[in-house]
DNA sequence: CAAAGTTGAATCGTATCCAATTGACGCGGA
DNA sequence: TCCGCGTCAATTGGATACGATTCAACTTTG
């Protein structure tokens, strides 16, 4: 995993430069993951093994491997005998993912903030710059990528690979959730929040940094349209009612930390 | 492992009652996982695809699928072109796994403790009883299984599937770690700790329950022989010195919660 | 015209086959 | 005695072939 290369190149491009022996299946996995992250593959997209196989000029076996790995990260869903699709997370899962992030990210900060080296600070600054650039350019995909990279880079500094990999998975699933439930098309994370977050982190105050992170995650979640649309059965009347009040109180399970 | 004899301890994950033939690959996966959990397969065991295939009377393809899934859960390690083995976690990974558990399990308690239903209490009691029985019978494998089931069952009550699955993976990896680094052969978890834990949980005091859980996990970790044996390079002299002091201070990264 | 039964295409799941890599064994030389 | 080198068996990695399943469109009939 760790789809960091993701040059977003055309998938079919091949044999051009054999500079890397990186097995094809990994490349397929990373390409698909990146496509999902950056919302070029919306939920519901069908991922045919055969199609992908001929796209990458490779047999179904290797495509299948990539697909299974993605499924284990919950980035695609494999329905028996019915093919793989990029899943549409339900509201409960969405809330749980955010709750999990509110657990893990502050915990990582508890380790990273006290031991922040100068190099780490530079790395964070670079990530923030990339974030700001993406915002200035109004480049949605770049924004999403930059946001993920920021959280990823921050998490890596804690030095706990286990939790880092968990968070990496959560970041991917968050992209999917945002793709499914975003309300406004533009800013899925406000412009300067990461910048402010770095300031707080750099101050060395662990508790403050954790609170800031939790607030940030709550903000992100609040921007989404998380209500039970699973009941898509027959409230057509409600759908047609232009005055429907969709401002049901969140009432999320506040899985913040110990306290 | 005696192929199909292992139908006993189904992880109880699937109560869907579907008359599915429960595809063989899943059974293989569960069997191997159980064998690792209960330490019938010590680290280093080679898992030949061909061997497993003829054991289950199935082609290598399906064995391979099970193996890959286990690898994504870090329960087996697949070395390219060299086959799969059950891995030997290094000390850093061991510490990280315990640190992760100290993050996730208290967070789960924050959700489960306040809303503990009567049925939950009965479930916990049953789990504790199974634990005690295993201890009384001096049945190592049953003890390990009961301990895992206890933590699993407790975690399930929080209602966050995402964190639950993370913890499930951590529990499995913990088994592996214990198998690798346990010092004394008998009690990898003291006899009445889970019982006391349930008492604290039932009291409804979230903070107390979290503290008790953290202490319990620290105890488990402390019972292990976690010192850097990765430095197997050339301190032969030290290894040969019978008086070598192996009581280096732990100095673990105390990734406890937010506070 | 509507509903039920039938048929067909597409896709997945498993098995088998062949190529590629690895680690081991044995031989010869310093 | 130890080290380097070449051949070889074993195992994995990937491709292809075939049966099984599912979904959807079509036809037929009441």
Gap from A162 CA to chain B (nearest CA, Å): 6
10-residue stretch averages of pLDDT, chain B, 259 residues long = 31 35 81 89 91 90 92 92 92 97 98 94 95 90 91 97 97 92 70 91 96 96 78 50 48 38
For chain B, which residues lie within 8 Å of any Cβ of chain A, measuring from their own Cβ? Answer: 65, 68-69, 72-73, 92-93, 96-97, 99-100, 103-104, 106-107, 110-111, 158-163, 166, 170, 173, 207, 210, 253, 255-259
Q: B84 has which bridge partners?
A: B47, B78
From the list B72, B97, B111, which residue is nearest A253 (CB)?
B111
Q: Alpha-carbon distance B20 to A5, whole Å? A: 40
Q: According to the CATH classification, is domain A91-222 in 1.20.120.530?
A: yes
For the domain spanning A14-88+228-243, the CATH number is 1.10.10.10
Q: What is the pLDDT of residue A229?
A: 52
CB contact under 8 A, B99 and A253: no
Does the beta-carbon distance from A162 to B107 stay under 8 Å?
A: no
- Kindly report the number of other CB atoms within 10 A of residue A248's CB atom: 9
The residues facing A83 across adjacent strands are A79
Question: Which tens digit of pLDDT belongs to each residue from B70-105?
Answer: 999 999 999 988 999 999 999 999 999 999 999 999
Residue spans of the domains in chain B: they are: 14-88+228-243, 91-222
pTM value > 0.85 = no
| Between A245 and B67, the higher pLDDT residue | B67
- Continuous H helices in A113-255: 118-136, 140-156, 161-181, 193-202, 206-222, 236-240
- pLDDT for A47 equals 92
Q: Could you read off the pLDDT of A78-121 as tens digits, one per residue?
A: 988 888 999 999 999 999 999 999 999 999 999 999 999 999 99
A77-79 and B77-79 strand pairing:
unpaired
Which pLDDT belongs to residue A36?
A: 87
Could you tell me if residue B239 is left (phi over 0), alpha (psi between -120 and 50 degrees) or otherwise beta? Answer: alpha
Tracing tokens 């293989």 back to the chain, one arrives at B28
Q: Which residues of B226-254 are buried (b: 16+ CB within 10 A; e: fewer)?
A: beeeeeeeeeeeeeeeeeeeeeeeeeeee
Going by the DSSP 8-state scheme, the letter that residue A41 receives in this structure is: S
The reply to whether A61 Cβ lies less than 7 angstroms from strand C is: yes
**Max avg pLDDT among A46-60, A91-105, A243-257, B12-26:** A91-105
């Amino acid at each position: 995993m760790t789809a960091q290369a993701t040059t977003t190149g055309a998938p079919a491009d091949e044999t051009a430069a054999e500079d890397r022996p990186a097995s094809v299946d990994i490349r397929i996995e990373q390409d698909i993951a990146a496509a999902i992250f950056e919302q070029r593959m919306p939920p519901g997209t069908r991922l045919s093994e055969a199609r992908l196989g001929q796209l990458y000029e490779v047999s179904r076996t290797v495509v299948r491997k990539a697909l299974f790995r993605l499924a284990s990260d919950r980035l695609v869903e494999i329905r028996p005998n019915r093919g793989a699709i990029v899943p549409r997370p339900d509201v409960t899962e969405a809330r749980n993912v955010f709750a999990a992030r509110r657990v893990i990210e502050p915990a990582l900060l508890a380790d990273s903030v006290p031991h922040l080296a100068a190099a780490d600070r530079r790395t964070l600054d670079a990530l923030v710059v990339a974030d700001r650039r993406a915002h200035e350019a109004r480049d949605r995909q770049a924004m999403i990528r930059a946001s993920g990279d920021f959280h990823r880079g921050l998490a890596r500094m804690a030095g706990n690979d286990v939790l880092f990999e968990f968070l990496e998975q959560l970041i991917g699933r968050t992209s999917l959730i945002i793709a499914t439930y975003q309300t406004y098309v533009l800013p899925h994370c406000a412009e300067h929040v990461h910048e402010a977050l770095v300031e707080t982190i750099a101050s060395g105050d662990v508790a403050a940094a954790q609170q800031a992170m939790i607030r940030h995650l709550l903000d992100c979640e609040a921007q989404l349209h998380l209500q039970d649309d699973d009941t898509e059965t027959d409230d057509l009347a409600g759908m047609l009612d232009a005055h429907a009040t969709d401002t049901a109180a969140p009432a999320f399970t506040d899985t913040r930390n110990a306290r």
